[in-house]
Structure 1
Amino acid sequence: MNRIIKFSLLLFFFLGGIQAFGQPAVKINNGIIVLDDNFVVYREKNYLKTIDSLDKVLKNNPKDTSALFYRALFYTRSNDILAKPYQVDPKALAELTIAKTFVERALTLSMQDFKLKVLRAEIFAGLCYRYSGDESWKFKPLEITARKKSFIEYKTKANQYYEELAKVDPHNAYDYERRLVKYDYPIK
């Protein structure tokens, strides 16, 4: 009987230890959230199982704030300037919009993690980037007006969020101030 209890406890701690490593390590570096995996560029293939697991968790429990954060992070990393440099990539814009929705939902559900707020600012800055490559020949006047409105809205919010981060985290204020969106909408 004693061996069964010891084995059960050992198995419990072993499986509990595996679960603890289920979430990828992240850190704030130069004002952005980075995956602490020793790669400069995000490699989606390394995280396919984690992404699949997060999608399942969110399907079963859409209020899981940790899953919302990590899924938004993976959407952001797979659609940032390094992963998809073409500014008018419709898939990148759509997935960054999903990331924005996930972050806002996590904030609505009272998630207090500082990294979530950094990710939110980064997502809004990424959305600005997706509107910064507008070529006038590609869009009709009504589309240009709608895109300019979205750009201004995202720029305002991104800068507001970065300024808030600089106040809350004064030791890294320089990093957040460098990330402010300073360019304007390209079509006049």
Structure 2
Amino acid sequence: MKKLNKFIACVIALMFLAISLLRAQPRVMVYNGKISLKSGTLAPVEKDFAGSADSLDKNLKIHPNDTTSLFFRALIYLQFNSFVMNPDPGSSQATNKLLLAKSMADRADSLNMKNFYLKVLQAQLCSELVTRNAPIETWRFNEKQMAERRKKHDYYKELANHYYDIAALIDKNNAYAYHRLKINE
């Protein structure tokens, strides 16, 4: 009887371990054309994803071509450096993390990652970079910096619209949402 109880306890422990390992990757959702982390709360908290971010960073050091890790790490950078989470358009720290996320997403794309969510992620990253380089708060920047920001703004605007067009072609049921998100300014 004791052996049976120990066996049942081991099976239950293994089941809990398996469930926790299966949920190791953050859950993702696309709603109204925007990709985000699914956290079970209205607004995800960065510290809740710190463990995932650390394990993804460690995995990327060992396996730099792991497209899944590149995708999820880029998504975490996007989630917590978006304009909603960090509304200062002149924040170089947030902009640098978004640029890092864009390079990770582009690397995953160049490694032939075939995931529809990647196109939505790339579009949203470029859209965030458009916002970060918007010609606002001109008092902070001199003429040369403003010209450089305008050039980046136009470049990321073209890229964002391109990726939204691709997403609309792939996900025809939600094409209106992607066309609505295109930048027309």
Q: Normalized against structure 1, the TM-score is what?
A: 0.87
The answer for the alignment partner of 1:26 in structure 2 is: 28
The amino acid across from 1:108 in the alignment is S
**RMSD value over aligned CA atoms?**
2.3
Aligned pair partner of 1:80 in 75, 79, 82:
82
1:142 aligns with 2:144: yes
Q: Aligned partners of 2:163 and 2:79: how far apart in 1?
A: 19
The amino acid across from 1:129 in the alignment is T
The answer for the alignment partner of 2:118 in structure 1 is: 116
What are structure 2's unaligned runs of at least 5 residues? 1-6
How many residues get paired?
183
Following superposition, the deviation at residue 41 of structure 1 comes to 1.8
1:128 aligns with 2:100: no
2:36 alignment partner, SS class: strand
The amino acid across from 1:36 in the alignment is K
Give 1:1-188 correspondences, 5 Å limit.
Answer: 15-183=17-185
The amino acid across from 1:95 in the alignment is K
Q: Aligned partners of 1:133 and 1:49: how far apart in 2?
A: 36
What are structure 1's unaligned runs of at least 5 residues? 184-188
2:30 alignment partner, SS class: strand
The amino acid across from 1:179 in the alignment is L
Structure number with higher helix proportion: 2
The amino acid across from 1:35 in the alignment is L
Does the CA contact (< 8 Å) of 2:168 and 2:179 recur in 1? yes
Percent identity reads 35
The amino acid across from 1:147 in the alignment is R
The answer for the alignment partner of 2:4 in structure 1 is: none
Following superposition, the deviation at residue 165 of structure 1 comes to 1.1
Q: Aligned partners of 2:49 and 2:181: how far apart in 1?
A: 27
Q: Aligned partners of 1:153 and 1:145: how far apart in 2?
A: 12
Q: Aligned partners of 1:30 and 1:13: how far apart in 2?
A: 36
Q: Aligned partners of 1:79 and 1:18: how far apart in 2?
A: 27
Q: Aligned partners of 1:93 and 1:42: how far apart in 2?
A: 20
Does the CA contact (< 8 Å) of 2:32 and 2:177 recur in 1? yes
Q: Aligned partners of 1:133 and 1:91: how far apart in 2?
A: 18
Following superposition, the deviation at residue 95 of structure 1 comes to 0.5
1:137 alignment partner, SS class: helix
Q: Normalized against structure 2, the TM-score is what?
A: 0.88
Following superposition, the deviation at residue 34 of structure 1 comes to 1.8
* Alpha-carbon distance change, 136 to 82 in structure 1, aligned in 2, over 3 angstroms: closer
Q: Aligned partners of 1:141 and 1:133: how far apart in 2?
A: 11
**After alignment, is 105-114 or 12-21 more displaced?**
12-21
Following superposition, the deviation at residue 181 of structure 1 comes to 1.3
Q: Aligned partners of 1:10 and 1:110: how far apart in 2?
A: 39
